Amino acid sequence: MTRWMTTAALCLFAATGALADQPAEWQIDLQPHATPVMEQIRWFNHYTLWFIVPITLFVLALLVVVVMRFRAGANPVPSRTSHNTAIEVVWTVGPVLVLFFIAIPSFNLLTYELSVPDKPDITVKATATQWQWNYEYPAAAQPVAFDSYLLKDQDRASAGKEDHKIYPRLLAVDNEMVIPVGKTVRLLVTAAPTDVIHSFAMPSFGVKIDAVPGRLNETWFRADREGLFYGQCSELCGKDHAFMPIAIRVVSDERYNQWLTAAASDLGAANKALMAAVDVPVKRAQLAENLTK
């Protein structure tokens, strides 16, 4: 009884914490959504399965019927039928209807995803180079800019990022992009003028946009829950393409403003203060989870 009460109390206390969103072993579905766009992408993915699965099974059944019924042993004299009007109508109208039911929601989704809100709350610029990301907050009262590299194993202790569940190997970075929850973020993406093409991809946000040298691409997202989210460069960009992760930390508006003010003068201290505020509840959540096992 005491153990159960302790677990319940820890879970309640840790309710504001969340483990990092990252790929899971044997994962067959898309990552859980953290933005309205990704929510619609997940819905559309499941929606199209209602067409894909029956069509696949139907085609498989037709292949089996053809193989069994029209093989040489069972059908030594082949049919000389040249056409069938009913079949011609069905296999013309059927695909048209399927494409119609898929096209309308897909166009609506593309329109929603590509329509950047007129008055975003925050603007962040991400510049890619081989093999890192540089983030800028140009609209801040005191502009903040920093580089984001893959976190090396030998730097984990000094960075306070030794927990592999929160900071997984090959996905964790030294400096995460920080944004507030519930705010519309306008993301400007480009690559250094003398660099190659990269791609900014964050699965939980439904964001994937190319970073092209000399071109400024634009997208948006609005995170609806706090947490630490991981993505990667998704355009083959050289020998260290696999070591160019993206990490976005979503926090409350109050903590974001505190971090932004502190980061203008001391990014390292701002990051450590933010980690101290958000990682402790996460570790308590992990402890509560372990106690229930």
- pLDDT digit string, tens, across residues 173-229: 999 999 999 999 999 999 999 999 999 999 999 999 999 999 999 999 999 999 999
The yes-or-no verdict on residue 153 having pLDDT over 60 is: yes
Q: Where in the chain is the domain with CATH 1.10.287.90?
A: 36-114
Identify the DSSP state of 203.
Answer: G
Q: Using pLDDT thresholds of 50, 70 and 90, give the confidence band for residue 289.
A: low
C-alpha 79 chain-centroid distance: 53
**Per-residue confidence (pLDDT) for residue 191, from 0 to 100:** 96
Distance of alpha carbon 66 from alpha carbon 179, whole angstroms: 58
Mean pLDDT of the region 152-167:
90
Where does the chain have alpha helices with state H? 2-13, 36-69, 85-114, 156-159, 253-263, 267-292
d(CA 122, CA 179): 8
* Per-residue pLDDT at 61 exceeds 80: yes
The domain defined by 122-292 carries CATH number 3.40.710.10: no
- pLDDT exceeds cutoff 80 at 6: no
Query: In Å, how far from its chain's centre is CA 82?
Result: 51
**pLDDT at 261 (0 to 100):** 92
Q: How remote is the C-alpha of 201 from its chain's centroid?
A: 6
CATH architecture of 36-114: Orthogonal Bundle (1.10)
Tell me what percent of the residues of the chain surpass a pLDDT of 90. 68
| Domain limits, CATH 2.60.40.420, in the chain | 122-292
Chain-wide mean pLDDT for the chain?
87
Residue 8 has pLDDT above 50, yes or no: no
User: What does the alpha-carbon distance between residue 209 and residue 189 come to, in Å, rounded to a whole number?
Assistant: 7
Q: Can you give the pLDDT at residue 19?
A: 58
Q: What integer pLDDT is reported at residue 87 of this predicted model?
A: 87
- pTM value? 0.81
From residue 83, give the alpha-carbon distance in Å to each of 40, 79, 80, 89, 264: 42, 11, 9, 11, 74
Tell me the chain's radius of gyration from C-alpha atoms: 25
Q: Which residues pair with 133 in a beta bridge?
A: 128, 148
Quickly list H helices, 177-217. Answer: none
pLDDT at 271: 92
In the predicted structure, residue 25 carries a pLDDT above the cut 90? no
CA distances from residue 289 to 4, 36, 283 in whole angstroms, order as listed: 12, 28, 10
d(CA 136, CA 123): 9
For tokens 């809100």, name the residue.
117
